[in-house]
Amino acid sequence: MLVLEYKAVCNQRQSKAIDEAIRTSQFVRNKVLRYCMDNRGVGKKELYQYNTALRAEYAFVKDLNSHACQASVENVERAISRFFDNCKKSKPGKKGYPRFKKDARCVEYKTSGWKLHPTRRRITFSDKKNIGELKLLGKWDIHTYPAELIKRVRIVRRADGYYIQFCVKVDITTETRTENGEVGLDVGLEYFYSDSNGYHEENPRFLRKAEKAIKHAQRRIYSKEKGKNNRRKARGRYARKHLKVSRQREEHAKRVARNICKANAYVAYEELNVKGLVRNSRLAKSISDVAWSAFRRWLEYNARKFNTQVVAVPPHYTSQKCSSCGNIVKKTLSTRTHSCKCGCLLQRDVNAAINILCKAKSTGGHPESNAWGVGTSVLLGETLAHASCDVEPRIPRRVFPWGVSSSWFWCKGEDIYGVRF
């Protein structure tokens, strides 16, 4: 699956129509979720029947394309299935019980309700929400793919406008690597990552650099009167600054991951529980700013693209263990140099990266991964490498079977429209 995104050019009337479609879509989702809670054990067939009843009862629901309403039902069905799967697998912590959503940001169409212009630079939505024709701005060549391969179309609202996303059913084309090296990666806060060859990628710290401007924009909100247009504009400026930071993180992670996979045939990295690490109140902002999870997702994606073998290993004792003799050298977080009695003197993160590569090659690490699986989890799985470097190296035969799910269009931020629960 390939997701192509374009910026949509729309006027004020079309913006209101899109917002109405988004609210209607999330109204259907919340109503269907309430129906599931009140009627335990209902199946997918009953959910679709209830959706039909909603379209007959509410005129504004009937105005939305039927496939868009069905997509909202599918979101509920997937959320419930994911919750029960987590319960069966005894997932630690919260199991992800479905909740009512608010602050909607997207509406999704399936194979009907929209039509591309022959130039592929305009799209027309034909339901009774009166969105009409939208101009598309972007560099992706959607015209190179047949219209039959477009399985989903989403309208996404962000702080800087509206975007159209196309989900195209195509296979990812592989590319040729420039080199066939082996590298171990240790991510950190001082450097974005340090590899086993001694190279350090600088941490860009996008949020820290923009923090002064973000705080200034936030203070400007409170100086405006509530309910006035100036306050709404100030909120928009504040949101756009955060959006810029998030895009900078994503693009940086994408670029670095691509360069690593393009230059190496074997990449080992540490399996970090980022969700647990951000509970540290002193380091939470820095950990969020460095975007380890995004880096890992793009590392897995580019591994498939360049036919690179990527292995995840647990980080236990990789910083404390000496990469030369194997002795444990205790260090605090502030100690940045590894110095062992055997004479090994290395930068702390480089020593950890060497241990990560050694552990991955000795045990094979995690032999399989699903980079675009349901939920796009930060953690790859349960079977990880736990042995040390004294085991004979074993290279796994299968790495990264490509399991693409339809969860790409699951939306955060949904809205209860027209009814109270």
Q: In the chain, where are the structural domains located? A: 2-171, 181-203+257-401
Of 59, 82, 65, nearest to 25 by C-alpha is 65
Phi, psi dihedrals of residue 138, rounded to the nearest 5° = 170, 170
Q: Tell me the mean pLDDT per 10 residues along the chain, length 421.
A: 91 95 95 92 90 94 94 92 91 87 91 90 92 90 86 94 93 86 91 91 94 95 92 95 95 94 92 88 91 92 92 88 86 86 88 90 59 35 35 32 33 34 31
Contact 362, 318 (CB under 8 A): no
Q: Are strands 106-109 and 150-158 parallel, antiparallel or unpaired?
A: antiparallel
Cβ-proximal residues to 169 (8 Å cutoff; 6+ apart), any chain? 1, 149, 150, 151
pTM of the full predicted structure? 0.79
Q: Which residue has the tokens 């241990």?
A: 355
Element (DSSP H or E) covering residue 5: strand 2-9
pLDDT given at position 389: 38
CA distance 277 to 333: 14
Q: What one-character DSSP code corresponds to residue 311?
A: E
Element (DSSP H or E) covering residue 229: helix 229-263
| Cα distances (Å, whole numbers) of residue 228 to 8, 220, 221, 235, 410 | 27, 13, 11, 11, 33
